[in-house]
Amino acid sequence: MSQLKRKIEVTGLCVGMYVSELDRPWLETPFLFQGFFIRSKNEIDELQEHCEFVYIDLEQSFIAANDAHAAKPPQGANTASASQPGRKRGFWQWLLQLFGRKQTPPVAAPPKPGEFYKDTVSVADELAVAKNIHTGSLQSLVDVLNSVRQGATLRVPDLEVVVDGMVDSVLRNSTAMALLVRMQESDDYTHAHSLASSMWALIFGRHLGLDRESLKLVGLGALLLDVGKTKLPQQLLQSTDKLNDAAMRQLRSHVQLGVDLLRADDSIDRRVLDMVATHHERYDGSGYPNGLKGNQIPVFGRIGGIVDSYAAMTSDRPYANAMSSYDAMREFKSLADKSFQAELIEQFIQAIGIFPAGTLVELSTDQIAVVLKEHRTSRLLPEVAVILDADGRKLDDFRIIDLGDQPEEQLSSSGIWIKRGLSPGEFDINLEDYFV
């Protein structure tokens, strides 16, 4: 064992110690970060509840493991890190360990979110394959959930096959599946929403660097978030009126109904069960059914809440029109550390994008364009195809412009930029035409 790391029983922990490793997988605990400063007695109590011993990093601790009464940080300690202990630092390392990507002694910086996987095929090459997977997945989902409505047992293996195909596609190229979700037209909101939630969860998980097995679990969990709604009346689910208290309680019961359906199958992974049970809990404690907050919500539950909300915001619902992705991301930013954890919101925006491929936008010239490719370093200036003129007439030959290639001095005067994002259904446009 490294001389800078010391094993210590949880009864000997003190505020100021830096916990670098637990005696169990991080996912079995409520701690979000692999590596964090102990900031309060409450955190010590949580560690004592879940662990028998932990490993302390002596170099990063402000109190040595054999000197609990030390009053000062070690000489040369990074006090800047202590101003927000455990907040930003350790986030990437937490992701690496939490989902099975263990580090060897580093010779270079570990990959950050968005750098774990590389596209192996182009969008155009994957689109046709992804379209078949998407169509088959939706049909399989409809068949399985309809059988549950009629009293049959939930056929989880059938849904695992669905998720396997989606994982394969997303790992080859995540943009193709994202485009298909944006293009899907369905009068069946419940099934389309479940499939979209699963797609967004897989794309988010790919960005975070989840290994294949964890991707399958998060995709399956997202697919089943609303499985309990199969036990609710269609009239309630399709209502366009404001629900009274009794109807709202009935609608919210879908969470427990879903958990009950899953518990009937002993093979369901606990993380999938947790995801379904907690996807309506909120980071500030304002959610339901149990008013959990912060680390009380499992990581998969926090992810589930985000993808479920995004899929709803960007789809036409019985009671609301779809938002543009841009407006949805603005809404998420306003909810950071309220409804949702700020760090996960930040990474979700990085994963999905502000103006992702397939988004319709209005340019400063009043022309309408579709985003072809977003640049990670200049997300507000993507590559676009101008498809409608300023009067809304379709152009015979669309023009491709990379907004990021414009000189900076031109942008401030005569340059072209995005004025606003548009919701998917504002124009009758087949997005597939611009990516094949």
What gap in Å lies between CA 283 and CA 285, rounded to an integer? 6
Check whether the bond before 74 is cis (ω within 30° of 0): no
Q: Which of 22-36, 118-132, 267-281, 321-335 has the lowest mean pLDDT?
A: 22-36
Report whether pLDDT(69) > 50.
no
Q: State yes or no: pLDDT of 81 exceeds 60.
A: no
Closest CA to 53 of 1, 95, 92: 1
| DSSP label at residue 190 | H
At 320, give phi and psi (nearest 5°): -160, 145
CA–CA dist 285, 43 (Å, integer) = 18
In the three-class reduction of DSSP (H, G, I as helix; E, B as strand; rest coil), residue 403 is classed as helix
- State residue 112's pLDDT score: 58
Query: What is the distance between the alpha carbons of residues 413 and 14, in angstroms, rounded to a whole number?
Result: 58
Contact criterion met (CB below 8 Å) for 416 and 364: yes
Q: What is the mean pLDDT of residues 402-420?
A: 83
Q: How far from 419 is each of 143, 190, 300, 355, 366, CA to CA, in Å?
A: 42, 32, 35, 12, 8
SS3 53: strand
Among the listed ranges 110-119, 228-237, 259-268, 278-287, which one has the minimum average pLDDT value?
110-119
Specify the DSSP class assigned to residue 317.
B
Q: Among 55-59, 212-216, 272-276, 292-296, which is the least confidently predicted range?
A: 55-59
How far apart are alpha carbons 287 and 293 in whole angstroms?
A: 8
Residues facing 36 on adjacent strands: 19
Q: How far is CA 422 from CA 203, 311, 324, 350, 430, in A?
A: 22, 16, 5, 19, 15
- pLDDT class of 357 with cuts at 50, 70, 90: confident
Q: CB 260: neighbour CB atoms within 10 A?
A: 12
pLDDT at 30 over 50: yes
Q: What pLDDT does 65 receive?
A: 52
pLDDT reported for residue 27: 62
pLDDT on residue 94: 47
Mean pLDDT, the chain, whole residue set: 83
Q: Which pLDDT does position 115 carry in this prediction?
A: 66
Answer yes or no: are the C-beta atoms of 226 and 196 closer than 8 Å.
no
Please, how many CA atoms are within 13 Å of residue 279, restricted to the half-sphere of its CB?
Answer: 35
Structure pTM? 0.75
* Of 432, 217, 182, residue with least CA distance to 313: 182
User: Does residue 210 contact residue 219 with C-beta atoms inside 8 Å?
Assistant: no
Q: Which of 113-117, 305-309, 331-335 has the highest mean pLDDT?
A: 305-309
* % of the chain at pLDDT higher than 90: 50
Name the helix (H) or strand (E) containing 387.
strand 383-388
Given the candidates 3.30.460.80, 1.10.3210.10, 3.30.470.20, 1.10.10.10, the CATH classification of the domain at 123-352 is 1.10.3210.10
The domain segmentation of the chain, as residue ranges, is: 5-98, 123-352, 360-434
Q: Is the pLDDT of residue 116 over 90?
A: no
Q: In 3-state terms, what secondary structure has residue 307?
A: helix
Helix (H) / strand (E) element for 128: namely helix 123-149
Is the pLDDT score of 64 beyond 80?
Answer: no
- Contact (Cβ atoms closer than 8 angstroms) between residue 173 and residue 121: yes
**For 316-346, what is each residue's pLDDT tens digit?**
887 788 888 889 999 999 999 999 998 899 8
Can you give the length of the chain in residues?
Answer: 436
Tell me what pLDDT residue 358 has: 86
pLDDT, tens digit, 9 for 90 and up, residues 362-379: 999 999 999 988 887 778
Per-residue pLDDT of 138-181, as tens digits, reads: 999 999 999 999 999 999 999 999 999 999 999 999 999 998 88
Q: Are 48 and 29 in contact (CB under 8 A)?
A: no
Task: Decide if 298 contacts 272 (C-beta within 8 A).
Answer: no
